[in-house]
């Protein structure tokens, strides 16, 4: 098990991006709106043979878990959540028109919220409507996030014949006291039963989402969860650091901050997770995922082709992504475009026949180069600067001289044992893999310029 002294943790456990995008959403502005997004879609339409990733955001939950940092809408009224689906389909029409003949999808993901907030029949209707507008490529990934508390065998029995082959179960923690503290009453039986239903129905990949650093969590409680999970043996695990961001998510103020593990205790939980899962045969993928040795993610990591987008780690490289629904973020033709986050604003745009874009960002050439370097570090733990230069038509051997000098200086991350230079390649070490957000941040030109009054990101550990 990796051990790190308190002084090093104090230096490096500080706020930093998770880099689901670069530049991060902090840089998004109203300079990108419906017209700019339409231009990017038109550019994407000129490449009809290139596949797409399609994300569908279904934001509704019946109750808000106090730990959650996702964009959700709380309601128990079906007329509210049902009204949303007509707008999603209308947006899909706008999107399909903008993409022209480019309609083939290799990665299709329903997230939330809780997609299974809807009945099985309604989910079938939505999927049928969307696949009239977009074509699922042979072998496409069709994935859904589910909450075992509200997801039934009937839900899965409806989804499996539609081609859904990947499922992610929100588990977080199985200890009853931790669940009480985070407002999530989820029995072990609910999780186990749903997992077995997914296996019975032939889902080819099952993922569990776990979180470390929750209030009341300690090595004993987390061991209880890990023992159950390892015994079930899902194909993948996403083990996220708890993002305590009450300045962004005011409902997190309900949590008792005194019960959150301190920096040393939280790192000990992370080290324990890595040790337990790798001892059980899982391979660490990027900064927070684990997969079995024969999983596609593990094979992509071995080949150096692992990628990352708003849906998480993926084997799909250089695939542009379009999103439907509130808050969804598209990544198309060198620009990010985020949909309106408020239901009313989203509805008004769609009803006007307008792409419902609230804000976004157009990448510069420098952004593209830095995004590539950060993605390679976050995914594959190594970046070849000469190859990066060739890819973007710059001198990769000198482009990052200042950053490499910073890494190599006394007290820098190379001196700290987090990275090493091998010729024209930079690699993260075993220790650096745990602090990869800190290594990646050295190449982030935007975060360095930020001078806000308070933190904008969660801590890196």
Per residue in 360-386, pLDDT (tens digit) is: 999 999 999 999 999 999 999 999 999
Residue matched to tokens 């919220």: 113
- For residue 279, tell me if it sits in a domain: yes
Which residue, of 322, 346, 378, is where some domain finishes? 322
- For residue 354, tell me if it sits in a domain: no
Q: How many CB atoms lie within 10 A of CB 31?
A: 10
Least confident of 90-104, 226-240, 404-418: 404-418
Same domain, 253 and 370: no
Residue 373 belongs to what domain range?
364-449
pLDDT at 453 over 60: no
Same domain, 121 and 38: yes
Same domain, 166 and 36: yes
Is 300 in a helix, a strand, or coil?
A: helix
- Distance CA(382)–CA(398), nearest Å, equals 17
Q: What integer best gives the mean pLDDT of the chain?
A: 93
Same domain, 151 and 292: yes
pLDDT digits (tens, 9 = 90+) for 306-336: 998 888 899 988 789 999 999 999 999 999 9
We report the CATH number of the domain holding residue 212 as: 3.80.30.20
Report whether 29 contacts 79 (CB < 8 A): no
Same domain, 242 and 137: yes
State the pLDDT confidence band at 444, using cuts at 50, 70 and 90.
very high
Helices (H), 336-393: 343-351, 365-380, 385-392
Same domain, 313 and 379: no
Same domain, 204 and 273: yes
Same domain, 305 and 408: no
> Across residues 387-405, what is the average pLDDT?
95
- Distance CA(143)–CA(205), nearest Å, equals 9
The residue ranking higher by pLDDT, 89 or 287, is: 89
- For residue 329, tell me if it sits in a domain: no
Same domain, 177 and 238: yes
Report whether 363 contacts 23 (CB < 8 A): yes
- Strand ranges (E), 218-319: 236-241, 283-285, 289-291, 307-309, 312-314
pLDDT at 451 over 70: no
- For residue 306, tell me if it sits in a domain: yes
pLDDT digits (tens, 9 = 90+) for 40-61: 999 999 999 898 999 999 999 9
pLDDT at 10 over 60: yes
- For residue 275, tell me if it sits in a domain: yes
Look at the chain and report how many structural domains it folds into.
2
Same domain, 197 and 111: yes
Question: What is the structure's pLDDT at 311?
Answer: 84
- For residue 77, tell me if it sits in a domain: yes
pLDDT at 134 over 90: yes
Cα angle value 144/148/151 (rounded, 5°) = 70
We report the CATH number of the domain holding residue 431 as: 1.10.10.920
Which residue, of 272, 303, 322, is where some domain finishes? 322
Same domain, 391 and 301: no
- For residue 351, tell me if it sits in a domain: no
Same domain, 300 and 379: no
- For residue 347, tell me if it sits in a domain: no
Which residue, of 300, 322, 344, is where some domain finishes? 322
State the pLDDT confidence band at 66, using cuts at 50, 70 and 90.
confident
């Amino acid at each position: 098990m990796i051990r790190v002294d308190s002084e090093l943790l104090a230096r490096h456990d500080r706020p930093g991006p998770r880099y689901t995008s670069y530049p991060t959403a902090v840089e998004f502005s109203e300079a990108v709106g419906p017209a700019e997004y339409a231009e990017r879609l038109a550019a994407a339409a000129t490449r009809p043979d290139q596949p797409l990733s399609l994300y569908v955001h279904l934001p509704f939950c019946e109750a808000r878990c106090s730990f959650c940092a996702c964009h959700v809408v709380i309601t128990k009224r079906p007329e509210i959540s049902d009204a949303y689906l007509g707008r999603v389909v209308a947006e899909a029409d706008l999107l399909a028109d903008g993409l022209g003949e480019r309609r083939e999808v290799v990665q299709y993901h329903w997230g939330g919220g809780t997609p299974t907030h809807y009945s099985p029949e309604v989910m079938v209707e939505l999927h049928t409507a969307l696949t009239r507008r977009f074509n699922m490529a042979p072998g496409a990934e069709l994935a859904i996030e589910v909450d075992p508390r509200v997801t039934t065998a009937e839900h899965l029995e409806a989804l499996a014949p539609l081609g859904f082959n990947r499922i992610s179960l929100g588990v977080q923690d199985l200890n009853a006291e931790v669940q009480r503290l985070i407002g999530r009453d989820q029995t072990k039986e609910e999780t186990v039963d749903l997992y077995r239903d997914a296996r019975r129905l032939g889902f080819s990949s099952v993922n569990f989402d776990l979180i470390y650093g929750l209030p009341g969590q300690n090595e004993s409680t987390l061991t209880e969860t890990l023992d159950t999970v390892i015994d079930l043996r899902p194909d993948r695990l996403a083990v996220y650091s708890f993002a305590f961001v009450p300045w962004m998510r005011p409902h997190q103020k309900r949590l008792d901050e005194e019960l959150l593990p301190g920096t040393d205790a939280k790192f000990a939980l992370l080290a324990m997770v890595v040790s337990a899962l790798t001892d059980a045969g899982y391979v660490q993928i990027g900064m927070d995922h684990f997969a079995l040795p024969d999983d596609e993610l593990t094979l992509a990591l071995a080949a150096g082709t692992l990628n990352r987008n708003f849906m998480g780690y993926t084997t799909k490289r250089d695939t542009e992504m379009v999103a439907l629904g509130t808050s969804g973020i598209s990544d198309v033709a060198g620009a990010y475009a985020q949909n309106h986050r408020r239901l009313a604003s989203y509805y008004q745009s769609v009803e006007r026949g307008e792409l419902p874009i609230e804000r976004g960002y157009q990448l510069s050439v420098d952004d593209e180069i830095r995004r590539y370097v950060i993605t390679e570090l976050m995914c594959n733990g190594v970046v070849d600067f000469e190859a990066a230069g060739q890819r973007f038509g710059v001198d990769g051997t000198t482009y990052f001289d200042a950053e490499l000098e910073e890494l190599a200086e006394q007290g820098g991350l190379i001196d700290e044992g987090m990275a090493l230079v091998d010729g024209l390649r930079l690699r993260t070490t075993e220790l650096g893999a745990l602090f990869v957000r800190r290594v990646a941040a050295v190449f982030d030109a935007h975060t360095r310029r930020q001078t806000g009054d308070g933190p904008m990101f969660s801590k890196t550990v």
